[in-house]
Chains A and B, each alone.
Chain A
Amino acid sequence: GQNIDQPTEMTATEGAIVQINCTYQTSGFNGLFWYQQHAGEAPTFLSYNVLDGLEEKGRFSSFLSRSKGYSYLLLKELQMKDSASYLCAVRSMNTGFQKLVFGTGTRLLVSP
């Protein structure tokens, strides 16, 4: 099976930097996704990593280490609108098809 762990909740201040960690255990690893989900809304895609290293996209960056089963999402220059849940999702290839499994999400609260 799969196991995905991420902190339940984090707080940070506007303008600061925050790092949200995600550890996972899976067989047939085939990519890791980060989604943002505002309260009462659908998840929206943020980033995708399949190779080790850092992917940067504006204020958001995502890192992956496949050997350690570890990823993080880095948010810079935090804004109030970044208050949301951040979902780590691992894709694996099993029995001939791809499957995406989500973690429980990290709720980020950005304060002034």
Chain B
Amino acid sequence: NAGVTQTPKFQVLKTGQSMTLQCAQDMNHNSMYWYRQDPGMGLRLIYYSASEGTTDKGEVPNGYNVSRLNKREFSLRLESAAPSQTSVYFCASSEWDRNNSPLHFGNGTRLTVT
């Protein structure tokens, strides 16, 4: 049981390049999320998918797009990377996006944009 798997673990991009972060969960969860973590700011929600077929903006969506490919997979795309997007990115999933349903996190992707 792998839980939440995200790839890659590390990535370096030049300004203007694009990339897609991949995320898959094997817990049959309905809801999936992308967060970014920056020093002193905790985790901030970029986008989420409450259920298969839906996506919604979170707190910091600018510069990102997402795709809920199926129930298992939720990808995050940076179309034109900027230095401000240097961060650690976490994918997470939960059974539901409500109540006390906890989030289960992947191991994170450290992205550096030069």
- Decide whether A and B assemble into one complex: no
Query: Which A residues are closer than 8 A to B by beta carbons?
Result: none
Query: Which B residues are closer than 8 A to A by beta carbons?
Result: none
